[in-house]
């Protein structure tokens, strides 16, 4: 009995130490954001250039780690299908929560679009902006899906094609799961698990120096805001897009967490490093290493859940992207003279959700996907050219929303299966 009390006391001390470390990390992040914001507002060319250089280094490091992280996480999870009885339960909850949150985001955006009712843009402005999207007009939605199907093992990793990497990893993982249970299979599994441990050691090292990157990212953002973001006639459109993102982030997703008995403030605080990185990298795929580390180190989610849920959510759980596709498509169609009936708008809710599921978690992925959708319908793509200058800000917010939604799905799934995984 005494030994049990000693162990419990030691565990409590370790938990308190981890909590203290988590709080210090949060303070470092806040300080880095403030310092970076001040540096960006100074308008000093040398400082801005140096911050751009540092931010580029960190972005490349995220991209370098992200692709193998996705591949190894999916391979190891699917490879254990025969041994892990809870994989099916994790998968079902992941898909269910993904669809629920994505449909919620799309319906919130639709409600705001109806309430705020953005007007049409001047026709001469649309014509002048058409040149900005000319080089993207040839994009085809069919080509987007064709690019997912790999024609060799190397190209998807070189190009960072997340969906293609996911398909390869899924095939390899299932192949290992179905392979004969012999010594060769065990050797392959040990090799894959070993690579994954090395990768996560690298991620933990990157997390320790991440405040330096956040200073640079914050300075970049501050400098862009100082340069001015012209919205003009797009004010109502921006209000719909940004309002939908914020309602989803701070009302809808917390309600999902509360419904599952979780404290949304606590989850948000523990996942804040990933949300900050998502905000500045504008890529949920590049943020994945930090999302995984935050979920496992801060949220204390089980590895069986995090390394299965988060890579999949990074690819298919796109709340912000669904809202952007819906609002932007309706706005473009409206400017093209299409009558937006309730039936049309509800149809686009479904299109936006399933298009977002097929979108890759890369910078400007939603913009290109939306452009390919509206251009295939003959809508005035010049509107997309007007949106382009302000999309950088939209992309930041919607990527943070996507990662927050990924974190929410992971937390709910982990909570649902806490007894099964104990």
Predicted local distance difference test score (pLDDT) of residue 257 = 97
**Token pair 């981890």 in the structure block, residue:** 18
Cα 12 from chain centre: 33
Residue 360 has pLDDT above 70, yes or no: no
Among candidate residues 408, 414, 413, 418, the one with its CA nearest the CA of residue 264: 408
Contacts of 41 (CB under 8 A, 6+ apart): 222, 223, 226
Predicted local distance difference test score (pLDDT) of residue 11 = 46
Q: Which residue has the higher pLDDT, 347 or 210?
A: 347
Cα 41 to Cα 34: distance, rounded to the nearest angstrom = 11
344's tokens: 């049309």
The average confidence (pLDDT) of the chain is 80
Among candidate residues 320, 419, 334, the one with its CA nearest the CA of residue 101: 320
125-172 residue pLDDT tens: 555 444 444 444 444 556 656 766 778 788 887 776 666 777 788 888
Cα 125 to Cα 78: distance, rounded to the nearest angstrom = 51
Predicted local distance difference test score (pLDDT) of residue 136 = 42
Cα 205 to Cα 228: distance, rounded to the nearest angstrom = 36
Mean pLDDT of 353-370: 71
- Candidate from 18-27, 128-137, 295-304, 356-365 with smallest mean pLDDT: 128-137
Predicted local distance difference test score (pLDDT) of residue 51 = 86
Cα 333 to Cα 327: distance, rounded to the nearest angstrom = 10
Mean pLDDT of 101-117: 95
Among candidate residues 78, 71, 83, the one with its CA nearest the CA of residue 150: 71
- Candidate from 26-30, 165-169, 226-230, 409-413 with smallest mean pLDDT: 226-230
Predicted local distance difference test score (pLDDT) of residue 227 = 56
Euclidean distance between the first and the last CA atom of the chain, given in angstroms as a whole number: 22
- Candidate from 67-71, 240-244, 337-341 with smallest mean pLDDT: 67-71
Mean pLDDT of 42-47: 85
Instruction: Categorise residue 90: left if φ over 0, alpha if ψ from -120 to 50, beta otherwise.
Output: alpha
214-261 residue pLDDT tens: 788 778 767 766 654 444 456 788 899 999 999 999 999 999 999 999
Q: Which pTM was predicted? A: 0.71
Is-contact 324 106, C-beta < 8 A? Answer: no
Residue 54 has pLDDT above 50, yes or no: yes
> pLDDT band for position 268 (50/70/90)?
very high
Residue 180 has pLDDT above 60, yes or no: yes
How many other CB atoms sit within 10 Å of the CB of residue 203? 20
Q: Which residue has the higher pLDDT, 6 or 378?
A: 378
2-20 residue pLDDT tens: 554 544 454 455 445 545 5
Full 3-state SS string of the chain: CHHHHHHHHHHHHHHHHHHHHHHHHHHHHHHHHHHHHHHHHCCCHHHHHHHHHHHHHHHHHHHHHHHHHHHHHHHHHHHCCCCCCCHHHHHHHHHHHHHHHHHHHHHHHHHHHHHHCCCCCCHHHHHHHHHHHHHHCCCCHHHHHHCCCCCCCCHHHHHCCHHHHHHHHHHHHHHHHHCCCCHHHHHHHHHHHHHHHHHHHHHHHHHHCHHHHHHHHHHHHHHHHHHCCCCHHHHHHHHHHHHHHHHHHHHHHHHHHHHCCCCHHHHHHHCHHHHHHHHHHCCHHHHHHHHHHHHHHCCCCCHHHHHHHHHHHHHHCCHHHHHHHHHHHHHHHHHCCCCCCHHHHHHHHHHHHHHHHCCCCCCCHHHHHHHHHHHHCCCCCHHHHHHHHHHHHHHHHHHHHHHHHHHHHHHHHHHHCCCCCC
Write b or e for each residue in 385-407: b if 16 or more Cβ atoms lie within 10 A of its Cβ, otherwise e: bbbbebbebbbbbbbbbbbbbbb
Q: Which residue has the higher pLDDT, 421 or 18?
A: 421
Mean pLDDT of 45-73: 80
Contacts of 265 (CB under 8 A, 6+ apart): 254
Choices 1.10.3860.10, 3.40.50.300, 3.30.2270.10, 3.40.50.1000: CATH for 2-416: 1.10.3860.10
Cα 417 from chain centre: 23
Which sign, positive or negative, has the C-alpha torsion 140, 146, 148, 153?
A: negative
């Amino acid at each position: 009995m005494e030994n049990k009390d000693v162990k419990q006391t030691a565990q409590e001390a370790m938990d308190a130490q981890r909590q203290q470390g988590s709080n210090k990390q949060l303070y470092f992040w806040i300080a880095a954001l403030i310092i970076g914001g001040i540096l960006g507002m100074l308008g000093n060319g040398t400082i801005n250039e140096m911050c751009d250089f540092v931010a580029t280094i960190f972005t490349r490091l995220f991209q370098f780690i992200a692709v193998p992280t996705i591949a190894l996480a999916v391979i190891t999870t699917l490879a254990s299908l025969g041994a892990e009885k809870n994989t099916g339960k994790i998968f079902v909850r992941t898909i269910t929560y993904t669809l629920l949150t994505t449909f919620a985001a799309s319906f919130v955006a639709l409600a705001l679009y109806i309430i705020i009712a953005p007007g049409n843009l001047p026709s001469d402005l649309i014509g002048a902006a058409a040149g900005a999207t000319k080089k993207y007009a040839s994009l085809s939605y069919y080509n987007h899906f064709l690019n997912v199907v790999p024609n060799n093992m190397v190209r998807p990793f070189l190009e960072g094609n997340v969906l293609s990497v996911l398909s390869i990893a899924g095939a390899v993982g299932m192949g290992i799961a179905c392979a004969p249970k012999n010594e060769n299979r065990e050797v392959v599994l040990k090799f894959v698990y070993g690579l994954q441990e090395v990768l996560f050691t690298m991620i933990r090292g990157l997390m320790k120096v991440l405040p330096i990157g956040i200073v640079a990212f914050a300075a970049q953002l501050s400098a862009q805001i100082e340069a001015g973001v012209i919205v003009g006639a797009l004010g109502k459109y921006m209000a719909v897009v940004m309002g939908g993102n914020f309602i989803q982030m701070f009302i809808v997703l917390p309600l999902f967490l509360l419904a599952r008995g979780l404290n949304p403030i606590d989850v948000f605080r523990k996942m804040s490093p990933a949300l900050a990185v998502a905000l500045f990298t504008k890529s949920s795929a590049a943020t994945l290493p930090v999302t995984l580390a935050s979920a496992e180190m801060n949220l204390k989610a089980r590895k069986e859940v995090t390394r299965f849920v988060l890579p999949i959510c990074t690819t298919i759980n796109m709340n912000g992207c669904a809202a952007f596709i819906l609002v932007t498509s309706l706005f473009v169609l409206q400017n093209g003279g299409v009558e937006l009936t309730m039936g049309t708008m509800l149809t686009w809710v479904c299109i936006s959700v399933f298009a977002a599921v097929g979108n890759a978690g890369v910078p400007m992925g939603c913009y290109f996907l939306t452009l390919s959708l509206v251009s295939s319908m003959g809508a005035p793509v010049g509107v997309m050219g007007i949106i382009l200058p302000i999309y950088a800000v939209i992309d930041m917010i919607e990527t943070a929303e996507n990662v927050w939604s990924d974190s929410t799905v992971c937390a709910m799934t982990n909570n649902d299966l806490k007894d099964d995984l104990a």
